[in-house]
Amino acid sequence: MITEAKNWWEQHGRSFQEKCPIPIDILYGIGSPNEQELGLIGPVAGKRILEIGCGGAQTSIAFAKMGAFVTGVDVAASEIEFAKELIQKHMVKVDLLQRDMSDLTPITSESQDIVFSSSAFGYVDDLYACFKEVYRVLKPAGLFVWGVGHPFLGIIDTETMRVKRSYFETGVRVEGTETGCAFACVDRTVSEYINTLLEAGFQIERLVEPDSRKRYACDPWFGQWGLTADVLAQVPATMIVKTRKSLSD
C-alpha cells in the first residue's frame, strides 16, 4: 500500500468512520445500489469470505450476520481497532488481520469461497500482486467481486465540473503535503483494472457502472467531499466487477 495512504488512514480512519457512518450492509461504493439490489454474490451462509481493505468491517459484519465465516484484512491499525469495537457491538464473529492486502500470506491457498472488496484498490500500488494473492486464496471457481471509485470520477473537479487532468495521466497521486498528512491514491484506467484481472487469471463475468444519477438510500457518501447530485449526474461514481477463478485451477 502507498505509504502516504496508510499514514492518512492511521491518522484519520476513526474520524472518517464517525463523519461518514457506514451501515451494516454489502456496499460497493459511492452512487451505487447494495448487494441486495444487484445480486452479484448470492447466498453466503456457510461460505468462507475474505474482505480485503475492510475498513470498519461493516460489510464483513453483514456477511457474518448472513451466516458466513468471515475474515477482514486492513492495513491500518486505526481501522482494525474500530472494526473490533463494531464487531463486538453486533455480537458476531469476524477474524481480523492487519496487513497489506497485496500480501495475504496468513490465508491458506484455495481456502476462500468469495473475496470481496469495496473502495480499496485505489490505495494499492501493486495491483497485479494483489490480484494474484486473491487468486491464490480462492477455491477453484471461487468468486472475486469488488467495487472501486470509477476512473472517470477522478478526472472531474467537483467544484468547477471541469476536467482537471487527462484520463490517461495515471499512477500514484499525492495531495495535501502541506497539511502534514498527505493523502495518496493511484489513478488507473478502466482497461488497466480489466487487463490486470485477466493477467492474474480471472474470468470476468460482469462489469457494472451503476447509474449515479439516482439517489440510493444505502449510500452514506452522497454529498460528502463534493460528491453532490450535480457531480454524480455527470459521471459514474463506482465501477463494480464480478470475476471468477477457473474451475480447473
SS3 124: coil
Among 6-15, 100-109, 167-176, the minimum mean pLDDT is found in 6-15
Q: What is the pLDDT of residues 67-123, one digit of tens each?
A: 999 999 999 999 999 999 999 999 999 999 999 999 999 999 999 999 999 999 999
Instruction: Specify the pLDDT at position 159.
Output: 87
Cell of 47: 461460505
> 118-148: per-residue pLDDT in tens?
999 999 999 999 999 999 999 999 999 999 9
Question: pLDDT tens across 207-232, in order?
Answer: 999 999 999 988 888 888 788 899 99
| Helix 190-200 × helix 127-137 angle, to 10° | 40
**Over the stretch 49-72, which tens digit does the pLDDT of each residue have?**
999 999 999 999 999 999 999 999
Residues 176, 182 contacting (CB under 8 angstroms): yes
Sign of CA dihedral 225, 230, 231, 232: positive
pLDDT of residue 131: 98
- Locate the domains of the chain by residue range: 3-150+190-244
Tell me what pLDDT residue 21 has: 87
Tell me: pLDDT of 27 over 90: yes
Q: Which residue has the higher pLDDT, 182 or 209?
A: 209
Euclidean distance between CA atoms 164 and 247, whole angstroms: 43
Average pLDDT estimate for 175-189 = 83
Per mean pLDDT, which range of 53-57, 153-157, 179-183, 204-208 is the poorest?
179-183
Domain 3-150+190-244 falls in which CATH fold?
Rossmann fold (3.40.50)
Instruction: Report whether 15 contacts 184 (CB < 8 A).
Output: no
* 142 SS3 class: strand
